[in-house]
Amino acid sequence: MVASRPIRTAKELLAQQLIEEEQLATIADVAKQYAVSITPAMHSRIVDLDDPVARQFVPSSAELVTTPEEREDPIGDDPFTPVPGITHRYPDRVLLKPVLVCPVYCRFCFRREVVGPGDSLLKEDQLKAALDYIRARPEIWEVIFTGGDPLIMSPGRLEPILRELDAIEHVKVIRFHTRVPVVDPDRVTPELVAALTLDTPVWVVVHTNHSQEIGQEARRALRLLAGSGIPLLSQTVLLKGVNDTPEALEDLFRTLIVNRVKPYYLHHGDLAVGTSHFRTTIEEGQELVRRLRGRVSGVCQPTYVLDIPGGHGKVPIGPRYLGEDGASVTDPWGVAHAYPPKAPQE
């Protein structure tokens, strides 16, 4: 039976048969350290405890294992936070984090140390300072809502923030990064769409990692957003045991495209504390991306990227097709060809 509200504690996980009795104490320890929440929509998509949805949202004892390279702030947000709620790493864009809670908590989250516990919303004076920061810097071309999940906020809370950004002449694009359309699709309403409909273009980047997450209600939510003229992109994290096969990635990206969502980024797993069991090697990721090339349409192809630890930016790390000598190129099926091709012999 699907839970009627989010599952948030080890006891609730046990009651829903998502963990075993002997796991209860250990999972309670995990839940003390990292927030837990599984929405009814995601609970309904779990077929068994070893499937791609359960692996993403049901906590495990592996989260208590820390490796030496892991960091509490793996992509280096802190040094680029001039005022609360703002991260300004790149010259022409800022992250705006008005809320630090999510409808679900991914077990691999790179902000798992700060998302969930403590204050959930920016205080009124903090939000004003964040908007003033954006207003005072004409180099800021794009404002990216993230968090937490910004679409967990009601349209009534979002609308005044968006109106203020819409009035700033130098802000030309607003982007939302969110899991809501997939994991809590009932939040995608005509009222939300109305709040997102501005003179300033609003783009929505949907976070999803496996086609099994995308049920009929998620498809309805995506259709409502796309049908209202809001461009949709996707962001996916490469996860061991979840989507680290060419078949899983192909199915996900095809599913996204038919729901009018353009695959945007495939992220290599960040060095977040307690997430080593999810990380592939870069070489494994490059091979998966190479196998997709030529196998699926170009519109299905995301860019495979790594967020360099320490705040040094995001870079493409896809497979190399040009030979080291610059005189050959490898096709999608692994065959090398001279380039430019040699002239035919007379």
240-250 core/surface letters (b: 16 or more CB in 10 A; e: else):
bebbbebebbb
Amino acid at residue number 74: P
- Is the pLDDT at 119 greater than 70? The verdict is no
Model confidence at 76: pLDDT above 90: no
Residue 117: its pLDDT value, please? 61
Beta strand pairing call for 262-267 and 303-307: parallel
Sheet with 86-90: strands ordered across:
86-90, 93-96, 142-145, 173-178, 202-207, 232-237, 262-267, 303-307, 314-316
Confidence of residue 222 (pLDDT cuts 50, 70, 90): very high
Position 63 confidence tier, pLDDT thresholds 50, 70, 90: very high
How many CB atoms sit inside 10 A of residue 118's CB? 8
Q: Is the pLDDT of residue 296 over 80?
A: yes
Average pLDDT (58-87) is 94
What pLDDT does 36 receive? 96
Instruction: Point out the catalytic residue in the list 71, 93, 219, 295.
Output: 93
Neighbours of 188 (CB within 10 A): 25
* CATH 3.20.20.70 location in the chain: 70-316
Query: Given this model, what pLDDT does residue 143 score?
Result: 98
3-state secondary structure of 325: coil
Asked if the model's pLDDT at residue 340 lies above 90, the reply is no
Among candidate residues 102, 105, 112, 149, the one labeled active-site is 102
Query: Could you say which of 45, 55, 89, 179 is catalytic?
Result: 89
Q: What span, in angstroms and rounded, lies between the C-alpha atoms of 114 and 105?
A: 12
Is residue 172 flagged as an active site residue?
Answer: no
106 is known as an active-site residue: yes
Q: Please tell me which residue in 73, 149, 184, 270 is annotated as part of the active site.
A: 270
In this model, does residue 223 exceed pLDDT 70?
A: yes
270 counts as catalytic: yes
User: Mean per-residue pLDDT for 267-272?
Assistant: 96
180 burial type by CB count under 10 A (0-12 exposed, 13-18 middle, 19+ buried): buried
Check pLDDT > 80 for residue 176: yes
Q: How many C-alpha atoms does 317 have within 13 Å on its Cβ side?
A: 20
pTM assigned to the model: 0.94
Among 45, 55, 107, 111, the one annotated catalytic? 111
For the question of residue 254 being annotated catalytic, the response is no
Poorest-pLDDT segment among 168-182, 194-208, 242-256, 307-321: 307-321
Tell whether the model's pLDDT for residue 41 goes beyond 60.
Answer: yes
- Is position 262 annotated as part of the catalytic site? no
Who's near 329: CB < 8 A, 6+ residues apart?
Answer: 321, 322, 323, 336, 337, 339
Rounded Cα distance, 279 and 74, in Å? 13
pLDDT, average across residues 188-193: 98
Residue 345: partners with Cβ closer than 8 Å, 6 or more residues away: none
pLDDT class of 344 with cuts at 50, 70, 90: low
What is the fold of 70-316?
A: TIM Barrel (3.20.20)
CA 308, chain centre distance (Å) = 16
User: Which pLDDT band, with edges at 50, 70 and 90, does 345 fall under?
Assistant: low
Q: What does the pLDDT read at residue 346?
A: 57
Q: Determine the residue type at 85.
A: G
- As a whole number, mean pLDDT of residues 215-221 equals 98
Given the residues 45, 107, 109, 149, the one annotated as active site: 109
Report phi then psi at 199, rounded to 5.
-65, -40
* 93 tagged catalytic: yes
- 23 has pLDDT over 60: yes
- Whether 290 is catalytic is no
307 is catalytic: yes
The share of the chain scoring above pLDDT 70, in percent, equals 98
Of 45, 105, 106, 279, the catalytic one is 106
Q: Is the pLDDT of residue 153 over 90?
A: yes
Considering only the C-alpha atoms of the chain, give the largest distance between any 2 of them, rounded to a whole number of Å: 79
236: nearest Cα among 227, 244, 247, 228 = 244
H-type helices in the chain, by residue range? Answer: 10-15, 24-33, 40-43, 52-57, 124-135, 155-166, 180-183, 190-196, 216-227, 246-258, 282-292
Please tell me the least confidently modeled range out of 117-131, 159-173, 216-230. 117-131
77 is catalytic: no
DSSP 224-236: HHHHTT--EEEEE
Mean pLDDT score across all residues of the chain? 95
8 is catalytic: no
Angle at 149 between CA 268 and CA 231, to 5 degrees: 80
From 51, 90, 223, 293, the catalytic residue: 90
